[in-house]
Chains A and B, each alone.
Chain A
């Protein structure tokens, strides 16, 4: 199993550009989520999905869109990048819907918005 994979590893954008961060998992996990990590802030939940076709907002959803057309993939879209979105983005997945299940994280995508 590859686990949770993310692409790209690093990206530089100009303000106003759009892009999609890719996330895929091969563990047949129902639950997937996106976090952003900023210095001194820990990890904050952006969006999550409890299964194909079902998504919902986390605590910092503004500026991001998600969709879940398959169990395996959970892309995160930035429609119009802003410098405030400079961060490290982590995708995670877990087996069950209950938060007690251990989450497995991808390697992260480092995004710089100029």
Chain B
């Protein structure tokens, strides 16, 4: 069985603060992929990043960065110098090679950036 845990239900930060969203996953497979999606207030789901289990290099894209650590089964997402437009629900998701049809989503973290 696979599981994704996003323990932070809601986070509020003041604009320009850095914020880290936690994601912890469980899988027995050695080959798996992790994803982050953003859901802004308008409701659509926007793909942010995909990372495979063999690549533990951290990823940086502008103000966004991701820290993948297999030793702790975590794939955390950091937003640097947060902006109001970052306010959204963020989902972490996991796919493993044992089930091609199923991507397991976490319950999401709602981020509110206060101006």
- Tell me the smallest distance from the CB of A110 to a CB of chain B, in Å: 8
User: If the complex has contacts A42-B108, A59-B102, are A103 and B33 also in contact, measured as CB distance less than 8 A?
Assistant: no
> What total count of A-B pairs have CB within 8 Å?
60
Instruction: Please provide the chain B residues from 30 to 45 with a CB less than 8 Å away from any CB of chain A in the complex.
Output: 33, 35, 37, 43-45
How many residues of chain A get a CB closer than 8 Å to chain B's CBs?
Answer: 29
- Check if A102 sits within 8 Å of B44, measured CB to CB: no
Contact of A107 among B37, B43, B96 (CB under 8 A): B43
**A99-B95, A100-B95, A102-B35 known; A43 vs B105 contact (CB < 8 Å):** yes
Interface size band for B? 20 to 34
**CB pair B47 A99 closer than 8 Å:** no
The 7 closest A-B pairs by CB, nearest first: A99-B95, A105-B45, A42-B105, A43-B105, A100-B33, A42-B107, A99-B100
Ordered by A's residue number, 25 sampled pairs between the chains whose C-beta atoms are within 8 Å are A31-B101, A35-B105, A40-B9, A41-B107, A42-B91, A42-B105, A42-B107, A42-B108, A44-B105, A48-B101, A56-B101, A90-B45, A92-B45, A98-B100, A99-B95, A99-B97, A99-B102, A100-B50, A103-B47, A104-B47, A105-B37, A107-B43, A108-B43, A108-B45, A110-B43
Q: Apart from A42-B4, A105-B37, A107-B44, what 18 extra A-B contacts exist at CB < 8 Å?
A: A33-B101, A42-B107, A42-B108, A43-B93, A44-B105, A45-B102, A48-B101, A50-B101, A56-B101, A58-B102, A59-B102, A90-B45, A98-B97, A99-B95, A99-B100, A103-B47, A104-B47, A106-B44
Give the interface of B toward A (CB within 8 A).
Answer: 4, 9, 33, 35, 37, 43-45, 47, 50, 52, 91, 93, 95-97, 99-103, 105-108
